[in-house]
């Protein structure tokens, strides 16, 4: 089964960095770009149906909605940066039609130190981190080429997710999705259950609540305003679905954020 990560929501300007030991992840995809840098060991990366063997010093770029997975070959240490499509505007629409023929470059000592300092390190700086990302993009543009994405069954899943991503703040339904795609509602429902093991309603709610979490963390908007911004016409529905997915109410979640600061 392929996993869709709505936690990597791709909200404008969003960036998150992680460090992992012995990194292995099942096939998944998300709306954000992703960089993986191997510090130690070897990692097998599968992206868009291709396999790449990464060693220490290698950097991999995964474009939005590319299905990818990782498997550690022995002990390994790596860093991962996830950033929204608008973070590098020029890459915003590439992933829908193209893939990088070889999305891997090797970093020299100076480039690696710059990355560690300004993208992952204590001297985190939005302009310097963007400078590194543009450097990596420039290297990839020089050393590889864009090739048309192969069309296949996964295109339908991409189109479903794009539809939900672009319309979850409005009133949408399985019927409106089916009309948009040109398939029957029954087929769309079965396809979603088979591909993501969830219903259309579950998928929409996960998007809405994920966006609600983002707004609670990054704005001072009222809970009712956030509920409407997420696509809910009634605050009760927002509260119920939020608690079902997050374990607490929106107000309790925001209270926890404030007490942790």
CATH number for the domain harbouring residue 191: 1.10.10.60
Interatomic CA distance for residues 143 and 139, integer angstroms: 6
Interatomic CA distance for residues 21 and 19, integer angstroms: 7
Q: 171 or 141, which is more confident?
A: 171
**Whether residues 169 and 133 fall in one domain:** no
**Whether residues 132 and 226 fall in one domain:** no
Domain termination residue (choose one: 148, 167, 196): 148
Residue 226: φ, ψ to 5°: -65, -40
Interatomic CA distance for residues 259 and 261, integer angstroms: 6
What is the domain count for the chain?
2
Domain termination residue (choose one: 148, 181, 207): 148
Q: Which domain holds residue 139?
A: 3-148
Alpha-carbon distances, residue 32 vs 104, 110, 135 (angstroms)? 18, 27, 18
**Whether residues 106 and 193 fall in one domain:** no
Question: Which pLDDT does position 165 carry in this prediction?
Answer: 82
The residue-averaged pLDDT of 151-169 equals 79
Question: Which pLDDT does position 28 carry in this prediction?
Answer: 76
Question: What is the pTM assigned to this prediction?
Answer: 0.68
Q: 146 or 216, which is more confident?
A: 216
Over the stretch 70-127, which tens digit does the pLDDT of each residue have? 998 789 999 999 888 777 766 656 666 777 889 999 999 999 999 999 888 766 678 8
Over the stretch 5-35, which tens digit does the pLDDT of each residue have? 665 455 555 678 889 999 888 777 777 889 9
Q: Judge whether residue 50 has pLDDT over 90.
A: no
Distance of CA 178 to the CA centre of its chain: 24
**Whether residues 255 and 132 fall in one domain:** no
């Amino acid at each position: 089964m392929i996993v869709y990560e709505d936690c990597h929501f791709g909200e404008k300007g969003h960036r998150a960095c992680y460090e992992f030991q012995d990194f292995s992840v099942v096939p998944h995809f998300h709306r954000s770009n992703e960089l993986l840098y191997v510090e130690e060991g070897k990692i097998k990366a599968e992206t868009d149906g291709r396999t790449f063997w990464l060693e220490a010093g290698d950097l991999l770029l995964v474009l939005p909605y590319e299905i990818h997975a990782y498997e550690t070959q022995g002990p390994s240490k790596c860093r991962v940066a996830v950033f929204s499509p608008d973070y590098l505007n020029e890459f915003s629409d590439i992933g829908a039609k193209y893939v990088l023929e070889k999305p891997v470059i090797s970093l020299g000592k100076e480039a690696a130190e710059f990355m560690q300092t300004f993208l992952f390190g204590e001297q985190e700086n939005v302009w310097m981190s963007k400078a590194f990302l543009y450097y990596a993009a420039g290297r990839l543009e020089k050393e590889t080429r864009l090739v048309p994405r192969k069309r296949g069954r996964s295109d339908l899943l991409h189109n479903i997710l794009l539809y939900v991503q672009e319309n979850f703040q409005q009133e949408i339904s399985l019927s409106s999705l089916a009309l948009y795609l040109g398939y029957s509602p029954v087929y769309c429902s079965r396809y979603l259950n088979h591909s993501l093991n969830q219903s259309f309603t579950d998928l929409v709610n996960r998007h809405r609540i994920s966006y609600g979490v983002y707004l609670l963390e990054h704005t001072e908007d009222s809970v009712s305003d956030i509920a409407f911004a997420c696509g809910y016409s009634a605050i009760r529905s927002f509260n119920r679905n939020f608690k079902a997915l997050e374990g607490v109410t929106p107000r309790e979640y925001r209270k926890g954020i404030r007490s942790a600061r």
